[in-house]
Structure 1
Amino acid sequence: MDKPLQTPPQETEGSNHVLYGSDLIAEALREQNFPYIALNPGASYRGLHDSLVNHLGNETPEIVTCMHEEHAVGIAQGYAKITDRALAVAVHSNVGLMHASMGIFNAWCDRTPMLVIGATGPFDAAKRRPWIEWIHTTVDQADMVRGYTKWDDQPASPEAAVEAIRRGVMLANTRPSGPVYVNLDVSVQEMEITERPELGDISQYPTPEDAEPPKAALEAALEILKTAKRPFIFCGRSSRSLEEWDDRIRLAEALGARTTTHMKLPAGFPTTHPAFIGETGWRLKGTLLEEIQAADAIIMLDWLDAGNTIKLAFPPGQERPPIIHVSNDFHIHRGWNMDYGGLPAVDVTIPTVTSTTVRALLEGLDAGPAKATHKGWDVPEVSGQGEIGLMDLARAFHHASRDREICITGRPLGWPQNANEITHPLGFLGHTGGGGLGAGPSIAVGAALGLRETGASRRAVAILGDGDYTMGLTAIWNAATLRLPVLFLIANNHSYYNDEDHQIKVARRRGRPEENAPIGQRMQGPDPDLAGLARSLGLEAPDPVTDLADLPGALTRALDRVAEGAAVVLDVRVRQEYIGQPMVELS
Structure 2
Amino acid sequence: MSRHHEAHGSRPDSQLTGAESLLLGLKRAGIDYLFANAGTDFPPIIEAFATLDVDDVPTPVTVPHETASVAMAHGYYLVTGRPQAIMVHVNVGLANAAMGVINAASDDVPVVVMSGRTPITERGRRGSRVTPIQYGQEMYDQSSIVADVVKFRYEMRYPEQGEILAARAVSLAMSEPRGPVYISLPREALMETIPAEIAIGAPVPPATAPHPDPAAIEEAARLLSAARRPLILCQRGDPSGSVGALLASLAEKFAIPVVEPYSIRNVMPSHHPMLLGYDVKGPLAEADVVLVVDSGVPWMESLHRPATETTVIQLGPDPHFRRMPIRGHKADLAIACDTAVGLAALAEAMTPSPHAEERRALYRQASERRRRDAAELAAQGRSSPMSAEWMSRCISDIMDEQAIVFSELGVLPHMMDLKGPNRLFNNPHSGGLGWALPAALGAQLADRERLVIACVGDGSYIFANPVACHQIAEALELPVLTIIKNNRMWNAVRRSVANSYPDGAAVKMNRMPLTSLEPSPDYTQIAAASRAYVERVDHGDDFPAALERAVEVIRKERRQAVLELNIAVSDKY
**Correspondence for 2:419:** 423
CA RMSD of the aligned region, Å? 2.9
Alpha-carbon distance change, 242 to 438 in structure 1, aligned in 2, over 3 angstroms: closer
Q: Distance in 2 between matches of 1:384 and 1:147?
A: 46
Instruction: Evaluate the alpha carbon distance shift between residue 165 and residue 41 of structure 1 in structure 2; reply closer, same or farther with a 3 A threshold.
Output: same
8 A contact 1:271–1:422 mirrored in 2: yes
CA distance in 1, matches of 2:490, 2:94: 27
**Within 1, Cα distance between the matches of 2:570 and 2:406?**
22
In the TM superposition, what are the counterparts of 1:147-158 in structure 2 within 5 Å?
147-158=148-159
Q: Which among 317, 324, 329 is matched to residue 328 of structure 1? A: 317
Instruction: Give distance in 1, aligned partners of 2:259 and 2:221.
Output: 21
What CA deviation, in whole Å up to 9, does each residue of 1:16-54 have, x standing for no partner?
x95322111111122123221101111113211221233
CA shift for structure 1 position 198 = 3.0
Correspondence for 2:562: 569
Query: Matches of 1:33 and 1:531 in 2, distance apart?
Result: 38
- 1:541 maps to which residue? 534
CA distance 1:214–1:35, shift in 2 (3 Å): same
C-alpha spacing 1:12/1:93, structure 2 compared with 1 (3 Å): farther
Residues 129 and 346 of structure 1, relative CA distance in 2, 3 Å threshold = same
1:396 to 394, 412, 425: 394
* Counterpart among 431, 435, 441 of residue 445 in structure 1: 441
CA distance in 2, matches of 1:18, 1:357: 48
Q: Secondary structure at the match of 1:387?
A: coil
Which one of 292, 295, 298 corresponds to residue 287 of structure 2? 295
Rounded to whole Å, the distance in 1 between the matches of 2:549 and 2:294 is: 39
- Give the equivalent residue in structure 2 for 1:276: 275
- Equivalent residue runs for 1:2-401 within 5 Å: 13=10, 19-57=16-54, 60-126=57-123, 127-195=128-196, 197-202=198-203, 205-280=204-279, 284-285=280-281, 289=282, 291-306=283-298, 309=300, 312-314=303-305, 318-329=307-318, 333-334=322-323, 339=324, 342-365=327-350, 377-378=371-372, 379-380=375-376, 381=379, 386-401=384-399
Query: Which amino acid letter does the alignment assign opposite residue 276 of structure 2?
Result: I
Maintained 8 Å contact 1:310/1:345 = no
**Shift >6 Å, 4+ stretches:** 371-376
Q: In the aligned structure 1, how far is the partner of 2:197 from the partner of 2:422?
A: 43
Query: Aligned in 2, Cα 1:533/1:155: closer, same or farther, shift over 3 Å?
Result: same
* Cα contact 1:384–1:548 (8 A) shared by 2: yes
SS at match of 1:146: coil
Q: CA deviation at 1:503?
A: 4.3
User: Counterparts of 2:57 and 2:548 in 1: how far apart (Å)?
Assistant: 37
Change over 3 Å in CA distance of 1:214–1:309 after alignment to 2? farther
Query: Given the superposition, is the C-alpha separation of residues 49 and 58 from structure 1 closer, same or farther in structure 2, using an over 3 Å criterion?
Result: farther
- Superposed displacement of residue 69, structure 1: 0.9
Deviation at residue 314 of structure 1 after TM alignment: 4.0
- Letter aligned with residue 235 of structure 2: G
Change beyond 3 A, Cα 1:194–1:392: same
User: For 2:117 and 2:565, how far apart are their aligned partners in 1?
Assistant: 44
Distance 1:352 1:230 in 2: 25
> Contact 1:501 / 1:517 at 8 angstroms: preserved in 2?
no
Shift of the alpha carbon at 1:461?
0.8
From the superposition, tell whether residues 389 and 59 of structure 1 become closer, same or farther in structure 2 (CA, over 3 Å): farther
Counterpart of 1:538, as a letter, is: R
**Aligned to 1:434, what secondary structure does the other structure show?**
coil
Change in 2 beyond 3 A, CA 1:420/1:100: same
Distance 1:121-1:537 versus aligned 2 partners, 3 A rule: same
**Residue 356 (structure 2) aligns with:** none
Which shifted more, 21-30 or 323-332? Answer: 323-332
Whether 1:510 and 2:509 are equivalent positions in the alignment is: no
Alpha-carbon distance change, 322 to 552 in structure 1, aligned in 2, over 3 angstroms: same
Q: Which amino acid aligns with 1:268?
A: V
Task: State the 1:512 CA deviation.
Answer: 5.4
Distance 1:482 1:176 in 2: 32
Partner residue in 2 for 1:471: 463
- The worse-fitting range, judged by mean Cα deviation, of 55-64 and 259-268 is 55-64
Say if 1:263 and 1:431, in contact at 8 Å, map to a contact too. Answer: no
Give the direction of change, closer, same or farther, for the CA distance of 1:206–1:506 in structure 2 (3 Å limit): closer
CA distance in 2, matches of 1:419, 1:341: 32
Matching residue of 2:478: 484
The one of 409, 414, 419 equivalent to 1:412 is 409
Same amino acid, percent of matched pairs: 24
Do the aligned residues in 1 keep the contact of 2:455 with 2:483 (CA within 8 Å)?
A: yes
* Distance in 2 between residues matched to 1:329 and 1:575, nearest whole Å: 40
CA-to-partner distance for each residue in 1:312-357, whole Å, 9 max, x for gaps?
4446xx44322111133268734xxxx4652332221111232111
The counterpart of 2:543, out of the listed 512, 526, 551, is 551
Residue 530, structure 1, aligned to residue 529, structure 2: no
Q: Could you tell me which residue of structure 2 aligns to residue 7 of structure 1? A: none
Q: Do the aligned partners of 1:231 and 1:297 also contact (CA within 8 Å) in 2?
A: yes
Provide closer, same or farther for how the CA distance between residues 513 and 211 of structure 1 changes in structure 2, counting only shifts above 3 A: closer
Shift of 1:99: 1.0
Where structure 2 has 5 or more consecutive residues not aligned to the other structure, the ranges are 1-6, 353-359
- Structure 1 residues 362 and 213 mapped into 2: Cα distance closer, same or farther (>3 Å)? same
Q: 1:87 to 1:158 in 2, by over 3 A?
A: same
C-alpha distance 494-278 of structure 1, shift in aligned 2 (>3 A)? same
Instruction: Give the counterpart letter for 1:557 in structure 2.
Output: R
CA contact (8 A) 2:408 2:435 kept: no
Q: Is the 8 A contact 1:230 1:256 kept in 2?
A: no
Shift in alpha-carbon separation, 1:177–1:399, aligned structure 2, 3 A: same
Q: Aligned residue for 1:6?
A: none
**1:177 aligns to what SS in structure 2?**
coil
- Report the TM-score when normalising by structure 1: 0.85
Q: Give the superposition deviation at 1:195.
A: 2.8
Structure 1 window deviating more from structure 2 (490-499 vs 54-63): it is 54-63
Give the TM-score normalised by structure 2: 0.87
For the structure 1 residues 309 and 357, does the alpha-carbon distance in structure 2 shift closer, same or farther, using more than 3 Å as the test? farther
Q: Pick one of 429, 432, 435 that aligns with 1:436.
A: 432
Count of residues in correspondence between the two structures:
544
Contact 2:71 2:439 in 1 (8 A): yes
